[in-house]
Amino acid sequence: MSWCGQVLYSGTANGTVLRLEAPISFWGGISPENAEVVLENHPQRGVKITDKILIVPDPIGSSSSAAILLELLYARIAPKGLILGTNKDAILPISVLVAEQMGWNTIPVIAMENPTFKSGEELEIKTDGTIHCI
């Protein structure tokens, strides 16, 4: 099966899905030291987002979220790709753009109206926003 999302930042990625089951902001929700979900009472508290295709159906925007993702990219502990749901948070793609300008690794950022991917699935993201189960 394949789907097509809106490309917010182009790139390719293959990996295992981690779907966040509750809204989250990277600022205060994700540790920049170890990429762990640290938000109090979050269903995935204690889970690391490193090397995952991270599905965030309900991102909570915060300009500081870009700084956290940028720190994760710099430390090479960021997710492999990011698929955002209904709230197309423009802040997170900005951090990837800044990482590119700094010469650091980048990740694809895709927006989809209702991403239904589940944790544990294997996905491939293409530069045109096409997503395949692998």
Given the residues 2, 25, 31, 62, select the one marked as catalytic.
62
Cβ–Cβ under 8 Å, residues 50 and 18: no
Name the residue among 59, 58, 55 with its Cα closest to residue 116. Answer: 55
| 119: confidence class by pLDDT, cuts 50, 70, 90 | very high
Whole-number average pLDDT of the chain: 94
Concerning whether 62 is annotated as a catalytic residue, the answer is: yes
**For residues 44 and 42, what is the distance between their CA atoms, to the nearest angstrom?**
5
Segments making up each domain of the chain, as ranges: 2-133
Q: Which fold has domain 2-133?
A: Glucose Oxidase; domain 1 (3.50.30)
Cβ–Cβ under 8 Å, residues 29 and 42: yes
Note the pTM of the prediction, 2 decimals.
0.94
pLDDT given at position 46? 98
pLDDT given at position 37? 98
Please check the confidence at residue 114 and state whether its pLDDT lies above 90.
no
Name the residue among 65, 64, 33 with its Cα closest to residue 50. Answer: 33
Per-residue pLDDT tens over the stretch 43-93: 999 999 999 999 998 888 778 899 999 999 999 999 999 999 876 677 889
